[in-house]
Amino acid sequence: MNGKICLITGATGGIGKETALGLAQQGATVVIVGRDEAKTTSVVEEIKRASNNPGIHYLIGDLSSQQDVRAVARQFKERFTRLDVLVNNAGGVFSGRRTTVDGIEYTFALNHLAYFLLTNELIDLLKQSTPSRIINLSSEAQRGARLNWNNLQGEKHYNSFGQYCFTKLANIMFTYELDRRLRGSNVTVNAVHPGVVSSGFGTTLGRRMQILYSYIRPFMRSSKKGAETVIFLASSRETAGISGKYYFDKRQIRSQQVTYDESAAKKLWRISEQLVGQE
Ligand SMILES: NC(=O)c1ccc[n+]([C@@H]2O[C@H](COP(=O)([O-])OP(=O)(O)OC[C@H]3O[C@@H](n4cnc5c(N)ncnc54)[C@H](OP(=O)(O)O)[C@@H]3O)[C@@H](O)[C@H]2O)c1
């Protein structure tokens, strides 16, 4: 990965941090996105030390805010002349419905719209840096999702985990539709299920969930293991040129049937464009 530049969101912890470390160990220049400056700079130093790679940089932004997503993309383009790998990873599950500064339901804004907007803001640079790769962190939680066009932001009824599942379904629909739009460009895009990982994920949920987590945590995999397929898609020769697929443990798997519905994916794309003001 020498000479390659990778941008990874949510790399201050969990799977994103291990992905950043793994790519840094392969010699890539790594740019991590964090939302807290002190935490982010400390992770940058940790990755530099652990990888013996001085080429680790950072950008700050709360990715639930569209203004911050645009600022991260703008600052990246001001500082770097190419982008070889974009990893859309920042995300989570959150208890209770709340809205962002843009008035959008938080989980939908962070887990789906931030992927959509950051990628679209950086797509010209990715096209100029070919062969380049985009990796979207999804989840097998997509299998439990229901696509309800009248309740995309949980306006009518809200369930934290149900909303999380839907956003992970949206990650795959976005991946497949982006792949169709990128055909012939030499930019590839794939989605990943990292496994059930003992990370910071779920720690913002209530006490009952914390107790449940404490029981199942010993059976979960490490963030390092969770990052393996992300790193594989970002860097291996084996995955060069492969696009529009969903991976688990370095193998392509099928996603829920509705993700293969092109008209539904186009509809979600149009709605996403409207919500980020790009129509
Ligand atoms: N853990 C699992 O079992 C699992 C399973 C399937 C899929 N995934 C997916 O894997 C991805 C990474 O999850 P993880 O398990 O590594 O979770 P994690 O340990 O909680 O890490 C989440 C990362 O996202 C960042 N983040 C959260 N909210 C943000 C915001 N508003 N703006 C910017 N950054 C924000 C966090 O930053 P801070 O450090 O500032 O909090 C952190 O770096 C997610 O997309 C998740 O859906 C996880």
Q: Which domain holds residue 263?
A: 5-275
- Residue 86 pLDDT > 90, yes or no? yes
Asked, as a colleague might, if the bond just before 54 is cis with ω within 30 of 0, I would say no
Kindly indicate the confidence band of residue 210, based on its pLDDT and cuts at 50, 70 and 90: confident
Residue 140 confidence class, pLDDT cut points 50, 70, 90: very high
Averaged over 46-72, what is the pLDDT? 98
Task: Tell me the CA–centroid distance for residue 11 and ligand 1, in Å.
Answer: 8
Report how far ligand 1's centroid is from the alpha carbon of 111 (Å). Answer: 9
Supply the CATH number for residue 221's domain.
3.40.50.720
Task: Identify the helix (H) or strand (E) that includes residue 115.
Answer: helix 114-128
Predicted local confidence at residue 36, as pLDDT = 98
For the chain, the distance separating the N- and C-terminal CA atoms, rounded to the nearest angstrom, is: 36
pLDDT surpassing 80 at residue 279 = no
- What is the average per-residue pLDDT within 69-74? 98
Q: How far apart are CA 41 and CA 36, in angstroms?
A: 9
pLDDT of residue 160: 92
64, 164, 169, 197: residue to mutate for ligand 1 pocket, most atoms within 8 A of CB:
197
pLDDT of residue 213: 81
Known catalytic residues? 164
Calpha distance 106→111 (Å, rounded): 8
Q: What pLDDT band is residue 214 in, cutting at 50, 70 and 90?
A: confident
| Cα–Cα distance, 53 to 171 (Å, whole number) | 31
Number of structural domains in the chain: 1
Q: What is the DSSP letter of 197?
A: B
This prediction has a pTM of 0.97
d(CA 9, CA 31): 9
pLDDT computed for residue 207 by the predictor: 81
